[in-house]
């Protein structure tokens, strides 16, 4: 069947004919859309998304980045948007009304539960702060929607376990925003170097971030802006005194709302290595670090941290420093995979392969697609070099919703990468190595660590771990 004939026969044809072949290699570890022609994937996604009713929870920086990329790849209908910041919500609604094909103005909501109660959404995107990922994602699945949720999936391990459980029991497709798995130039590197065995046996990888991204703010608590419901924004997290850096974006400076630079940046690059090398759960996690240089700041996350993730015959070592210079200025944030025959470096901007001995060096870099999507050029705060990856991630998500299969960054994959980072922070706090058993959802022989797998929720919010025991 010719591709265009297949597309024009409608969504039923897409489901039965096309994606059956595409997903023939899909496994528990989520085979990627990289196995499909990019042009064909784009057309299937466009057809799959046509007319889908979409809602967004969290209308800040990455909520808009994700939603506007979805609008670029499919004629979806954004019908509702939710945020506890009245000003941010109104601005995002206006932007979407200008950008979506229908020019329809989405309905705004303050409470995500009210938005989901109508059960009129096919797709829900979640781009809240990390401490607000789990409960809306679970509620969206229970409301019958397929979900795109930002990374990390949650702030503790049992949130992730509950999210996987609900996704499976409701049979919802859930894509996590670990879009390195859909980054075109990294897919290219995997195919040309890893899949062809040019690295030889691999025994070690390094993942790292040297961006100066830890807040240096020392401001005192201040009044909450009138347009922000800070109590709802805080939700299940501890209610701290409000500071201006908490909203928007710099909430990552506080462990109460996330998992620091580990949860923000390590999760991407650890997930990249796991995807490229087909790795599951780490056998053991150990971490050291602290605030070694940037002392006396409001932020309570580490400025220096190293974590070792041990797999069978392979270690992956993470390091971040929010001060000083990177060892390689071309790779301030990335992954390096060491093989017997060569070394492969990967980042959001490029990749470089250096062989040992004979053979040519190889490299590649991002193509930002500005000619095809000229609106990217002037979109405020858009990481233009990341936009192609988000678009392809959305296409993979849409294609999976048609055939009810697992996308490339399925919730289980996002849970493993997110929880490994959570365990890294917990190891640092407790001062010992940790081994997590996903079968029992415990850290065997360590009751104190097991008790820390779920954070305490602030009333009246209830931790979703209850769904794991049927309580």
pLDDT at position 421 is 98
CA–chain centroid gap for 291, Å, is 26
| Rounded CA separation 396/393 (Å) | 5
Per-residue pLDDT band at 10 (split at 50, 70, 90): very low
* 144 plus 76 within the same structural domain: yes
Average of per-residue pLDDT values in the chain: 92
Q: Give the contacts of 76 (CB within 8 A, at least 6 positions apart).
A: 49, 50, 51, 52, 53, 54, 70, 100, 123
* 231 plus 156 within the same structural domain: no
Per-residue pLDDT band at 38 (split at 50, 70, 90): confident
Q: Does any domain span residue 318?
A: yes
| Rounded CA separation 34/396 (Å) | 9
Q: Does any domain span residue 292?
A: yes
**pLDDT per position as a tens digit, 259-308:** 999 999 999 999 999 999 999 999 999 999 999 999 999 999 999 999 99
| Rounded CA separation 302/210 (Å) | 13
Residue 393 has pLDDT above 70, yes or no: yes
* 169 plus 207 within the same structural domain: no
Residue 181 has pLDDT above 80, yes or no: yes
CB atoms near residue 297 (< 10 Å): 15
Contact predicate 331/206, CB 8 Å: no
Average pLDDT over residues 170-183: 98
Q: What is the DSSP letter of 132?
A: G
Q: Does any domain span residue 173?
A: yes
3-class secondary-structure state, position 306 = strand
How many contiguous H segments (helices) and E segments (strands) does the chain have?
A: 17, 14
**pLDDT per position as a tens digit, 50-73:** 999 999 999 999 999 999 999 999
| Rounded CA separation 125/302 (Å) | 30
Q: CATH no. for residue 154?
A: 3.40.50.720
**Total domains present in the chain:** 2
Last residue of a domain, one of 396, 411, 426: 411
Residues of the chain with pLDDT > 90, as a percent, come to 90
* 273 plus 422 within the same structural domain: yes
* 131 plus 213 within the same structural domain: no
Q: CATH no. for residue 210?
A: 3.30.360.10
Q: Give the contacts of 304 (CB within 8 A, at least 6 positions apart).
A: 289, 290, 291, 292, 293, 320, 321, 322, 323
| Rounded CA separation 411/148 (Å) | 9
Burial class (CB in 10 A: 0-12, 13-18, 19+), 290: exposed
Residue 188 has pLDDT above 60, yes or no: yes
* 329 plus 229 within the same structural domain: yes
| Rounded CA separation 287/300 (Å) | 17
* 115 plus 38 within the same structural domain: yes
* 28 plus 169 within the same structural domain: yes
* 226 plus 127 within the same structural domain: no
Per-residue pLDDT band at 35 (split at 50, 70, 90): low
Q: Does any domain span residue 374?
A: no
* 31 plus 142 within the same structural domain: yes
Per-residue pLDDT band at 3 (split at 50, 70, 90): very low
Per-residue pLDDT band at 32 (split at 50, 70, 90): very low
* 304 plus 176 within the same structural domain: no
Contact predicate 73/45, CB 8 Å: yes
**pLDDT per position as a tens digit, 194-247:** 999 999 999 999 999 999 999 999 989 999 999 999 999 999 999 999 999 999
Per-residue pLDDT band at 471 (split at 50, 70, 90): low
| Rounded CA separation 53/50 (Å) | 9
Q: Does any domain span residue 259?
A: yes
Average pLDDT over residues 2-26: 32
Domain that holds residue 188: 184-235+242-368+417-469
Contact predicate 6/21, CB 8 Å: no
* 445 plus 347 within the same structural domain: yes
| Rounded CA separation 413/268 (Å) | 11
Q: Does any domain span residue 373?
A: no
**pLDDT per position as a tens digit, 332-372:** 999 999 999 999 999 999 999 999 988 899 999 999 999 99
Q: Does any domain span residue 378?
A: no
| Rounded CA separation 155/175 (Å) | 17
Q: Does any domain span residue 220?
A: yes
Residue 177 has pLDDT above 50, yes or no: yes
């Amino acid at each position: 069947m010719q591709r265009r004939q297949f597309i024009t026969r409608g969504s039923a044809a897409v489901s039965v004919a096309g994606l059956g072949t595409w997903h023939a290699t899909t496994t528990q570890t989520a085979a990627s859309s990289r196995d499909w022609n990019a042009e064909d994937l784009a057309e299937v996604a466009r057809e799959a998304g046509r007319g889908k009713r979409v809602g967004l929870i969290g209308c800040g920086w990455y909520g808009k980045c994700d939603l506007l990329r979805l609008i670029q790849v499919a004629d979806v209908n954004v019908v509702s948007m939710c945020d506890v910041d009245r000003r941010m919500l109104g601005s995002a609604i206006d932007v979407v009304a200008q950008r979506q094909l229908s020019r329809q103005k989405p309905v705004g909501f303050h409470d995500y539960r009210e938005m989901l109660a109508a059960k009129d959404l096919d797709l829900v995107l979640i781009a809240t702060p990390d401490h607000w990922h789990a409960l809306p994602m679970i509620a969206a699945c229970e409301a019958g929607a397929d979900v795109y949720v930002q990374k990390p999936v949650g702030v503790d391990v049992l949130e992730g376990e509950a999210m996987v459980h609900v996704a499976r029991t409701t049979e919802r497709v859930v894509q996590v925003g670990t879009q390195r798995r859909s980054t075109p130039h990294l897919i290219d590197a995997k195919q040309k170097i890893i899949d062809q065995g040019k690295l030889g046996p691999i025994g070690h990888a390094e993942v790292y971030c040297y961006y100066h991204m830890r807040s240096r703010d020392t401001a005192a608590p201040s009044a909450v802006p009138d347009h922000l419901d800070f109590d709802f924004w805080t939700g299940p997290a501890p209610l701290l005194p409000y500071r201006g850096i908490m909203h928007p974006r710099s909430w990552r400076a506080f462990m109460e709302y996330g998992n620091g630079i580990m949860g923000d940046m390590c999760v991407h690059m650890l997930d990249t290595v796991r995807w490229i090398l087909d790795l599951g759960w780490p056998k053991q996690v150990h971490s050291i670090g602290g605030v070694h240089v940037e002392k006396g700041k409001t932020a309570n996350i580490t400025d220096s941290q190293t974590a070792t993730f041990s797999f069978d015959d392979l270690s992956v070592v993470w390091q971040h420093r929010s001060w000083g210079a990177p060892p390689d200025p071309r790779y301030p944030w990335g992954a390096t995979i060491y093989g017997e025959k060569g070394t492969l470096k990967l980042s959001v901007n490029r990749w470089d392969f250096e062989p040992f001995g004979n053979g040519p060096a190889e490299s590649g870099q991002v193509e930002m697609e500005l000619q095809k999507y000229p609106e990217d050029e002037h979109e405020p705060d858009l990481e233009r070099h990341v936009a192609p990856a988000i678009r392809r991630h959305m296409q993979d998500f849409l294609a999976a919703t048609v055939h009810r299969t697992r996308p490339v960054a399925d919730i289980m994959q996002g849970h493993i990468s997110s929880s490994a980072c959570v365990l890294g922070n917990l190891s640092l706090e407790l001062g010992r190595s940790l081994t997590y058993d996903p079968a029992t959802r415990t850290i065997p022989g360590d009751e104190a660590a097991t008790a820390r797998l779920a954070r305490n929720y602030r009333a009246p919010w209830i931790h979703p771990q209850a769904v794991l025991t049927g309580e």
